[in-house]
Amino acid sequence: MPTPKLSRKKHRKILDLAAEGASLREIGRKAGVAHGTGVKYAKLPLPEPADPTAALPGSWAEDYPPFALETPARVLVLSDVHIPFHVPKALEAAVEYGRKNGADTVLLNGDVCDFHTISRYDHDGSKLTYTEEVEAGRQFLRYLRGKFPKARIVFKEGNHDERLAKYILGRAPALFGLDNCTLPSLLGLAAAGVEHVGEQRVVHAGKLRVIHGHEYGSGTSAPVNAARWLMLRARKPAMCGHLHQTSEQIEMDIDGNQLAAWSLGCLCGLNPRYRRLSTRWNHGCALVDVARDGTFAVENKRVMNGKVM
């Protein structure tokens, strides 16, 4: 039979009797408790009284609200440019496609820059320096602004763009967060009129959710169907890059509601040194028409031989 839980007052009486030298039998009799209960509580310290003013500790949990594009909008989505390892003909074709089709918003959906020289992987032995990579990124943004002088341009970080912050945290943490050491500062985003989206925030283009693709962590390396992989995780109409392949998945739920997902091709070299035979990679871009009520239409395009197909 379990020992009964005593009130604080009775527990104190038992301790006081024990301190006076009373025997265990006397403690039980004078405190009005069973012998075993007296034995147990005579050995237990009196717990601290409850503090009515006590509160939970401060929380470090963080919130990452989505970044919403204004609607209506015609959005050109460019993913995985990987400056300076871009393919000029493919990139120029995608940019011109958006310009000719009246895109008023350009979403750079991650891995805009490669930042090869500060990666944790083996370098390709080229004489490329980090300074040259940054300058190439700045030049690309100037080029893009020249093509879209009035458009809203949004730069969403991908895993390659995040390399700078990780490099600083690992090698010079005291510099982390300094204005002159951040990606927006080094690339001159403000001067180019480019908005920055970091912290792996989801971009809302009406009812379409756009991510780079690395936000889901592991398991993103080589799905058989990239769009289906995204659909199973996002569970909402969604689009991603990261996997360098153009694909589409459309399904119906049990109530007859349509669910769709898209993955985008890249605009970088298809045969890098670390993956000479990239059989699933292709060049591509997308144009998304978003209505005022949030509904949208997607044109997910391949780019082949310098032409948008």
Distance CA 236, CA 259 (A): 7
Domain identity same for 21 and 74? no
CA-wise closest residue to 267 among 89, 126, 128: 89
Whether 226 is in a domain gets the answer yes
Fill in the amino acid letter for 125.
Answer: G
Q: Which pLDDT belongs to residue 98?
A: 98
Domain identity same for 35 and 102? no
For 205, other C-beta atoms within 10 Å of its C-beta total 26
Q: Which pLDDT belongs to residue 224?
A: 81
The bridge status of strand 194-197 relative to strand 152-156 is parallel
Residues 6+ apart with CB under 8 A from 46: 8, 11, 12, 15
Domain identity same for 135 and 283? yes
Whether 3 is in a domain gets the answer no
Fill in the amino acid letter for 297.
Answer: A
Domain identity same for 203 and 285? yes
Helix or strand run (H / E) with residue 116: none
Q: Which pLDDT belongs to residue 178?
A: 87
Backbone phi, then psi, for 131, in 5-degree steps? -60, -40
Q: Cis omega before residue 72 (within 30°)?
A: yes
Domain identity same for 145 and 254? yes
Domain identity same for 275 and 127? yes
Whether 287 is in a domain gets the answer yes
Q: Are 175 and 168 in contact (CB under 8 A)?
A: yes
Domain identity same for 74 and 182? yes
Q: Coil, helix or strand for 84?
A: coil
Whether 186 is in a domain gets the answer yes
CA distances from 10 to 2, 29, 34 (A): 17, 12, 12
Whether 58 is in a domain gets the answer no
Q: Are 199 and 184 in contact (CB under 8 A)?
A: no
Domain identity same for 15 and 128? no
**Residue 14 lies in domain:** 8-42
Q: Which pLDDT belongs to residue 200?
A: 96
Starting at the edge strand found earlier in the chain, the sheet holding 283-290 runs 194-197, 152-156, 105-109, 73-78, 283-290, 296-304, 307-308
Domain identity same for 36 and 145? no
Domain identity same for 240 and 119? yes
Judge if pTM exceeds 0.85.
Answer: no
Domain identity same for 110 and 233? yes
SS3 content of the chain, % helix, strand, coil (to 5): 30, 20, 50
Q: pLDDT below 70 — which residues of the chain?
A: 1-4, 122-125, 218-222, 274, 276, 278
Distance CA 158, CA 144 (A): 18
Whether 51 is in a domain gets the answer no
**88-113: pLDDT as tens digits:** 999 999 999 999 999 999 999 999 99
Domain identity same for 109 and 27? no
Distance CA 80, CA 282 (A): 11
CATH of the domain at 295: 3.60.21.10
Domains held by the chain: number? 2
Whether 192 is in a domain gets the answer yes
